[in-house]
Copies of this chain bind each other. A is one copy, B any other.
Amino acid sequence: MSITHPYLMFLGDAPDQLAAKTAVGVAYWRRPWCLGQFRLAGCRADLGLPELGLEAAAAAGARTLLVGVANRGGIIAESWIAPLIQALELGMDLAAGLHQRLAEIPVVRDRAAALGRAVHDVRHPGRSFPIANGEKRPGKRLLAIGTDCSVGKMWTALALEQEMRARGFDAEFRATGQTGVMIAGSGVSIDAVVSDFVAGAVEALSPANRPDHWDIVEGQSSLLHPSYAGVTLGLVHGAQPDAMVLCHEPNRPHMRGLPGRPVPGFADTIAVHEAAARVTNPAAKVVGISLNTSALDAAAAERAIKAAEDSLGLPAGDPSRGGLGRVVDGLATL
């Protein structure tokens, strides 16, 4: 799956900014790819991009209309169909990360086929994958891991890619979730892959490379999350990480979706991920901590970062507050 940019960001009638969080991520990390935003009446999300109609976007060179909004239930609203069709007719491909597939809507599918346009349903892998062989591949790999779901693994991986490139590393983000795929323009939503093929899909996503090339692989969930840990284990085995960065959000009352289940501690999380990763890369180790301190004030955030460093003897930071420079410092020697 390879999505062509530049994008016109379709926000539909998103009731708030959270409903457009896919679009927010793409606009933040790939601003130069985003020509503008296209909103329907009543839309309350705003990416701060120029408002652009479909015809103006096509004239400006937009290649893909990116549906960056999620309804409750992940359904495609009736009111979206006409603009989707018009985008196809104006020469754009379509991309969406919803549960419901664009390609399941007969009028969209048929019009796209007739016009020769691509329809990317990034949540649904459109291909099959080989079984993983576990053989170590050349090139270096960093994997974002976490104490829980939704603690900032994608954000961390993208911040690491950005910082590493700024320092001259040959680094490349590898997407494993739908927002990441839209940001990278390629990748695979790993939690939608049939379980037998998860590790193999990650091997395919991050193939053999130059010895000094770094793939920065987006992580998913946690090995200690009872709902999704199997996804994580296939990802860890397939990624064969040389380095892992542990992502965490302080002060969560419980693991995501599981009231009453406390978030595991750093030491337990590091131990289980290092042991698992060493099945396919004996040198794998956690090299830093990435905290999501968005719920803390500046002083509390600084204390949390310092506490993590002191307790683990590893560099820590927040990608959105001071950055992960200290984590990247250590990568040059790996």
Near B by CB (< 8 A), chain A positions 238-280 give 257-258, 261, 272, 275-276, 279-280
Of A191, A229, A230, which is in contact with the most chain B CB atoms at under 10 Å from its CB? A230
Interface of A: prevailing SS: helix
Give the size category of A's interface with B: 35 or more
Contacts of A194 in B (CB 8 A): 191-195
Is A33 an interface position by the 8 A CB rule? no
Near B by CB (< 8 A), chain A positions 187-212 give 190-196, 198-200
CA separation between A194 and B276, bound complex, in Å? Answer: 21
Contacts of A200 in B (CB 8 A): 227
CA separation between A233 and B134, bound complex, in Å? Answer: 17
Report yes or no: B199 in contact with A195, Cβ–Cβ below 8 A: no
- Within 8 Å by CB of A226, from B235, B275, B279, lies B279
Ordered by A's residue number, 12 sampled pairs between the chains whose C-beta atoms are within 8 Å are A131-B228, A132-B226, A132-B227, A133-B226, A133-B227, A191-B196, A192-B194, A192-B195, A195-B198, A195-B231, A196-B228, A230-B234
CA separation between A128 and B295, bound complex, in Å? Answer: 36
Contact string against B for A residues 292-331, beta-carbon threshold 8 Å, 1 for contact and 0 otherwise: 0000000000000000000000000000000000000000
The answer to whether A199 and B230 touch (CB under 8 A), given A192-B194, A224-B279, is: yes
> Which B residue sits closest to A228, measured CB to CB?
B196
Contacts of A229 in B (CB 8 A): 199, 233-234, 237, 276, 279
> Which B residue sits closest to A201, measured CB to CB?
B195
Report yes or no: B226 in contact with A230, Cβ–Cβ below 8 A: no
Measured CB to CB, the closest approach of chain B to A234, in angstroms, equals 3
Contacts of A160 in B (CB 8 A): none
Contacts of A228 in B (CB 8 A): 131, 196, 199
- Within 8 Å by CB of A233, from B131, B132, B233, lies B233
Contacts of A257 in B (CB 8 A): 131, 133
Contacts of A131 in B (CB 8 A): 227-228, 257
Report yes or no: B223 in contact with A233, Cβ–Cβ below 8 A: yes
Top 6 nearest A-B pairs by Cβ distance? Answer: A134-B226, A230-B234, A191-B196, A195-B195, A230-B233, A230-B230
Report yes or no: B237 in contact with A133, Cβ–Cβ below 8 A: no
